[in-house]
Amino acid sequence: MVSFKVNDIEYNIISLTSVEIGNNINYSGSSDITIPSSVNDPNDGKNYKVINVSVNAFYKNIVLTNIDLSNCIYLTSLESGCFSKCINLTTIFFPLLCKRLIQTLFLLVLV
């Protein structure tokens, strides 16, 4: 899968016009993240719509405290466990319309 980073966030290209937020388990940037509705690939400048947050995208990330997805007007799904076990995550802003929310989005299992 082809991917690129914008502002330390990894995006996976999933079609000619769209990306998903990819594997950011080791993300160590700002604790407050705002995800835009679209991003430009720094390699070729092509613009892609952000439509998905992938499975376990930020799994066990301890840096994140706030994430703002409210501008993601093309967002159609938040996959299983995308914010699971993010123990410092206190606030998430969602877009008004999100077609599919996976039930296990915030699954917290203490072992």
Model confidence over 65-109: pLDDT tens digits? 999 999 999 998 888 889 999 999 999 988 876 655 544 455 544
- Look at residue 66 and give its three-state secondary structure: strand
Evaluate whether residue 59 is within a structural domain.
yes
Tokens 């599919």 — which residue? 100
Question: In 14-99, where do the E strands start and end?
Answer: 18-21, 32-34, 38-40, 47-53, 66-68, 77-78, 91-93
List the CATH number of the domain containing 63: 3.80.10.10
Evaluate whether residue 110 is within a structural domain.
no
pLDDT, position 78: 86
According to DSSP, the residues that pair with 53 across neighbouring strands are 21, 78
List the Cα angle 13/32/92 in 5-degree steps.
80
pLDDT, position 109: 42
pTM (two decimals): 0.86
Evaluate whether residue 107 is within a structural domain.
no
pLDDT digits (tens, 9 = 90+) for 25-67: 999 999 999 999 999 999 999 999 999 999 999 999 999 999 9
Please give the residue range of the domain that contains residue 66.
3-101
Domains: count for the chain: 1
- Interatomic CA distance for residues 29 and 11, integer angstroms: 15
